[in-house]
Each structure stands twice: as C-alpha cells, then as structure tokens.
Amino acid sequence: MLKSLIASFLALFIVFSSVVANSSEDAQVQALSSTQKAREVVVKLVSLDPAIGSTCSAVIIAPARALTAAHCISIPDMALKYDDGRVFPVLAALPDIMGRDVATLLVPDLVGPTALTTDRPIEQDEFVYAVGYPYGIGNVLTVGNFQFRTYNPEEERYYLISTVMVAPGNSGGALFVVRDGVPYLVGIVVAYASSPHLAVSVELP
C-alpha cells in the first residue's frame, strides 16, 4: 500500500514538474518571440556631425515622437538613425517636466511602429529585456528579471533595477516587460560610463 502511494505521488510530482517546466518554457519562448516588435521601435540617437557620431538610443512612442535619456540631448544636430540607414533629424528636445532623466524628442518626419505601454505596475521577477545601442555598435537586446523599484531622494526620482546588462550607449533605450508575448515599455535605460552594466531604468508613469 505504502509503495503504491509513493509511486502515485512520484507520478503526480513528475507530471506537475513537467507542466511547470513546460509553462515556464512556453512563457520564455513567447517572450523571446516578441523581440522583433521591441527592436523595431528602438533606434540610434546620433549627431549629424560625423566627428561626434552615435551617442545614445531612443524609443519611438508615437508618430513624430520619441523618448531618450535627458543626459543624451546635449549633443548638436541630433537625429534618429535606423539600422537600414534612414535618418530623421530631431527638431527639438524637451526635458521631462518632472525632472527625471528622460526627454521627449520631436521628429516631424518620423513614422512607423511605436512602443506599447501598460497601466499595470511591473512586478518582482517579471521577465524583462533592454534594447539599445551599447557603444553604438548595434541594436542589442539583453534579457533578465525585474528586481525592485527604488527611490533616490536627492534626485526625487524612481528607478527600476533589473538583471539585464547595459553599457554606455544603452542610455535612452527601452526597458520592456513581456506579458502574453507582448513587450510593454516600462522604463528608459540609464547607463553611465562610470557604472557599466548597472541596469537602472527611469520608471515611466
């Protein structure tokens, strides 16, 4: 009798473990299948001055609108550049009225896919990825999990901390949370030369 109960328990445990593993694997496959949607809304922020070149990243949020990190907008003659060579000059850059390290870029001729947002707060351990142009070398996607939200009283800003790896050039790029295979923009990446791989993102409302 005891052996029979143990055998039944082990069988149920194996089935349960298989379901959990498959569910986790399905979620990850679903999440990774959404990467193309995320990549196509993140572009390179460059200067039209060839002596300066690429500096940061930016996220397309609406026709003629993009977001980047505020510390990126001091460069002259800014433009957004796609990997296929298309270049769209930036008409104006508007710093965030709340004082966060975020700026809105006005790009009159910009059209195409835009990032989706969500009203649901990000939760601990949710699957996330960052998309940007570290060191200006290419459209790079790194994956990880959201860890926690932190508040900097000196800056009066909230930040999202995650395990994704970022580097200088990622600044202004996107942090996406993936739900049901859909990437939602939840933060703008901040990456300083003094703190490479520090996965910090300015939380968007």
* C-alpha atoms less than 13 angstroms from C-alpha of 106 in its C-beta half-sphere: 5
| Model confidence band, residue 50 (pLDDT cutoffs 50, 70, 90) | confident
Distance CA(57)–CA(32), nearest Å, equals: 21
pLDDT at 8 over 70: no
Inform me whether the pLDDT recorded for 48 exceeds 70. yes
Identify the helix (H) or strand (E) that includes residue 44.
Answer: strand 42-47
The pLDDT-based confidence of 32 (bands split at 50, 70, 90) is low
pLDDT tens per residue, range 119-137 = 898 999 999 999 999 988 8
Query: Are the C-beta atoms of 57 and 189 separated by less than 8 Å?
Result: yes
SS3 30: helix
pLDDT tier for residue 31 given thresholds of 50, 70 and 90: low
The mean pLDDT value for 59-83 works out to 94
pLDDT, residue 159, reads 86
With 50 as the cut, is the pLDDT of residue 145 above it? yes
Banded pLDDT at 17 (limits 50, 70, 90): very low
Rg (CA), the chain: 20
